[in-house]
Amino acid sequence: MRVRPGRPYPLGATWDGLGVNFAVFSEHATAVDLCLFDGPGGPRESQRVRLPERTDLVWHGYLPGVRPGQLYGYRVHGPWEPEAGHRFNPDKVMLDPYAKSIGRTIRWDEFRMFGYAVGDPGADLVRDERDNADIAPLAAVIDPAFTWGDDAPPRTPWHETVIYELHVKGFTRRHDGVPERERGTYAGLMSDAAIRHLQSLGVTAVELMPVHHHVQDRHLVEKGLSNYWGYNTLSFFAPEVRYSAWGGEDAVREFKTMVRALHAAGIEVIIDVVYNHTGEGSHLGPTLSLRGVDNASYYRLVPGSQRYYMDFTGCGNTLNMTHPRVLQLIMDSLRYWVLEMHVDGFRFDLASALARELYEVDKLGAFFDVIHQDPVISQVKLIAEPWDLGEGGYQVGNFPVLWTEWNGRYRDSVRSFWRGDGGLVSELATRLAGSSDLYGRGGRLPYASINFVTAHDGFTLHDLVSYDHKHNEANLEDNRDGEEHNRSWNCGVEGETDDPAVRELRERQKRNLLTTLLVSQGVPMLVAGDEMGRTQRGNNNAYCQDNELSWLDWEPAAEREALRDFVAALIRLRRTQPVLRRRRFFQGRPLRGNGVKDIAWLAPTGREMTDADWNASHARSLAVLLPGDALGDVDEWGEPVVGDTLLLVFNAHHEGVAFRLPPPPPRHAWERLVDSADPGFERGFSGRGRFVATGRSVAVLRLAQTPARRRRAAASRKGDA
């Protein structure tokens, strides 16, 4: 086959209708061979072609006649000098760092996927000369054409956003309403049954756990487990082929079709991305892609000891964000997922690692500078997991404007309060009000706080109120893995029980936590299945459990359906009450001369909280008054936003507490919208004078016209007509 010089840009394999241009960056390579395969089962490549040109450290060539579907990889020649950071091994076929589709996944076989001779300590210094062409992961050339039609991003404003974190496979794998072949796939997520559930809840965005193609770790496979969560990326461009019902190159088209269907339903698609490390692990890991393409450029190596990797992630390596080609790789990936795949935003795993220019986290690092000036990426939703495992890695509140953050302090405060820990009312109030102590500076707004009580990592909501201790034996690590400090409470019995009193208390605790989440300022994030009482039987680190322990259980049950309906009602309440989703932080003082504060914190006596109230170690109760006419905000037309006045009543004490209600105006009374202790409103409430908050409960009251006043107002409107 005659090879033309081709072009150094774009990187990857680009089909132009007549042939394919191949381009791969490697600063330290001495030669690059393109390997073409006839199919995924071939023992060796059918053709090996030396890329003829090197421009700006990019090796490139053009092959006429090559078409979409072609499988390929690279053999990269260069020095084998691990102590200098170089691990080139042309006996191993490398996956293109810009692969858009995966044509063959890894096939573990002995240790041929490792670039060194696995054996005694120090063996990583010896190059392994066995060929792995028959088991190496391969890329596939794609045809990017797709009919998007009138697809348009929903562009839901941040303050109106409700996020629903889900795993593509686990969400529909057990759903009888999804065609069997599509369960656990992108097609399953766009099924009528799946979209109907999302719309009935009222969520505005799905946050997909990693959908980049990832490594199934050898040590897990050998144990009969798998990397279910997917936080071990191998390709930053290719959708995970294992989640595809259509298969192969069609996985790209299936993903696009899913996004189009979710957009048509008014639901944004946010994807969880892992750019801080790759699935190649430490110096003792396999050689799959970046390590064999140019290890010294792509990874952070230990200064003076370049055989080893800087590891801020706990996963063995860290990408070298100080190298311009690594920054380009990440930015090209982000733009690809926005422009070609139409996603609406990103959640960045261990985002602090991306900000480390030298060693310390630098919030003005090159990565943030590049993001902020980019006309594409700066316009989508950006969510940081604001910590990593390195020194100084806990950076909650320290990310710059444009960024929102998973608020770990919100999670911890709300869990501790409802567990019954005393002296937390001040901390809880700060979190309910949008965490201005973290985000109220530098031009950031309440939506910078992504509020959550549970996430994929940790206990489910049901397990949070059912277990005092983690039970991770199924992970085969003797229960050593997973977080020890969960701030959970089992309500008196460890694990599942038939005791009706314990079960009722657990259901109420779930409602307490969910109500708190959905009446807090900021952006709420729910975890798929929490609205149906999903359990992992006390496993708080189910990353390797690709089975019914992790998959959602859709079997109908009265408790599950009641909780799901309760969550849907809370989201409707949030959507219809402007005071619950403010765009600005509270001022705590009268606004616009009307003498009404925009927020007031009340003790059970009805008076505003004093310093003594805030600091009392025994305090477990408070109320929050949110006047609907003191928002100080305008809508998109410039008109003042006015809503109902709400009173939020929180009581984490085990006994009931009587709250004196603020006196209502003439012909008005307080009506109950939510009561976690009485969701069916079977207990009477007069609406005047006082409200008795049941032990361990939360309630939402609204200031409303009395029935007689409403009838007169309706009659007046009818007369005017």
Q: What distances in angstroms separate CA 690 from CA 75, 489, 685, one per listed residue?
A: 76, 30, 9
- Contacts of residue 221, defined as CB under 8 A and 6 or more positions apart, other chains included, come to 108
3-state secondary structure of 350: coil
Q: Tell me which amino acid residue 414 is.
A: V
Question: What pLDDT is recorded for position 3?
Answer: 95
Q: What's the full length of the chain, in residues?
A: 721
* pTM of the shown model: 0.96
Question: What pLDDT is recorded for position 119?
Answer: 87
Residue-wise pLDDT tens digits, 503-519 = 999 999 999 999 999 99
For residue 485, pLDDT beyond 70? yes
Percent residues over pLDDT 90 in the chain: 85
The residues that bridge with 301 in the sheet, in sequence order, are 309
Question: What pLDDT is recorded for position 712?
Answer: 58
Domains identified in the chain and CATH numbers: 12-140 (2.60.40.10), 580-720 (2.60.40.1180)
Question: What pLDDT is recorded for position 236?
Answer: 98
Mean pLDDT of 475-479: 97
Tokens standing for 301? 């190596």
Tokens standing for 316? 């063995």
Residue 319 CA to residue 305 CA, distance in Å, equals: 17
Q: Is the dihedral of CA 112, 114, 116, 119 positive or negative?
A: negative
User: Which of 385, 427, 546, 675 is flagged as catalytic?
Assistant: 385
For residues 81-99, one letter each, b for 16 or more C-beta atoms within 10 angstroms of the residue's C-beta and e for the rest, the string is bbeebbbbbbbbbbbbbbb
DSSP 663: P
Residue 204 region by backbone torsions, left for phi larger than 0, else alpha for psi between -120 and 50, else beta: alpha
> Are 172 and 183 spatial neighbours (Cβ–Cβ below 8 Å)?
yes
* Per-position DSSP letters for 424-476, written without gaps between them: -HHHHHHHHTT-HHHHSSTT--GGGEEE-S--SSS--HHHHTT-SS---GGGS
Residue-wise pLDDT tens digits, 235-282 = 999 999 999 999 888 999 999 999 999 999 999 999 999 999 999 999
What strands lie across the sheet with 19-25, from one edge to the other?
A: 12-15, 19-25, 58-64, 53-55
DSSP strand pairing (31-37 vs 19-25):
unpaired
User: Which of 165, 268, 349, 388 is flagged as catalytic?
Assistant: 349
Q: Is the dihedral of CA 105, 109, 115, 119 positive or negative?
A: positive
Residue 14 CA to residue 320 CA, distance in Å, equals: 26
Question: What pLDDT is recorded for position 356?
Answer: 77
Residue 385 annotated among the catalytic residues of the structure: yes
> Are 596 and 590 spatial neighbours (Cβ–Cβ below 8 Å)?
yes
Residue-wise pLDDT tens digits, 145-190 = 999 999 999 999 999 999 999 999 999 999 999 999 999 999 999 9
Cα 175 to chain center, whole Å?
22
Nearest partner of 656 among 625, 672, 633, 678, judged by Cα = 678
For residue 123, pLDDT beyond 90? no
- Contacts of residue 694, defined as CB under 8 A and 6 or more positions apart, other chains included, come to 651, 656, 675, 677, 678
Question: What pLDDT is recorded for position 358?
Answer: 58
Question: What pLDDT is recorded for position 248?
Answer: 82
Sole residue written with tokens 């381009």: 23
Cα 428 to chain center, whole Å?
24
Residue-wise pLDDT tens digits, 593-642 = 556 789 999 999 999 999 999 999 889 999 999 999 888 787 778 888 88
> Are 288 and 94 spatial neighbours (Cβ–Cβ below 8 Å)?
yes
CB atoms within 10 A of CB 462: 25
> Are 160 and 578 spatial neighbours (Cβ–Cβ below 8 Å)?
no
Question: What pLDDT is recorded for position 2?
Answer: 87
* 347 burial via Cβ count (<10 Å: 0-12, 13-18, 19+): buried
> Are 550 and 232 spatial neighbours (Cβ–Cβ below 8 Å)?
no
Residue 324 CA to residue 371 CA, distance in Å, equals: 13
Nearest partner of 342 among 265, 257, 402, 234, judged by Cα = 257
Least confident range of 18-27, 366-375, 474-483:
366-375
> Are 227 and 217 spatial neighbours (Cβ–Cβ below 8 Å)?
yes
CB atoms within 10 A of CB 2: 8
Q: What is the dihedral of CA 520, 523, 527, 531, to 10 degrees?
A: 50
Question: What pLDDT is recorded for position 438?
Answer: 96
3-state secondary structure of 93: coil
**Rg of the chain's alpha carbons, rounded to an integer?**
28
Question: What pLDDT is recorded for position 442?
Answer: 86
> Are 267 and 385 spatial neighbours (Cβ–Cβ below 8 Å)?
no
Q: CA-based angle 416:419:423, to the nearest 5? A: 55
Question: What pLDDT is recorded for position 138?
Answer: 97
Residue 632 CA to residue 598 CA, distance in Å, equals: 8
Residue-wise pLDDT tens digits, 71-90 = 999 999 999 999 999 999 99
Residue 600 has, within 13 A of its CA and on its CB side, a CA count of 20
Cα 620 to chain center, whole Å?
31
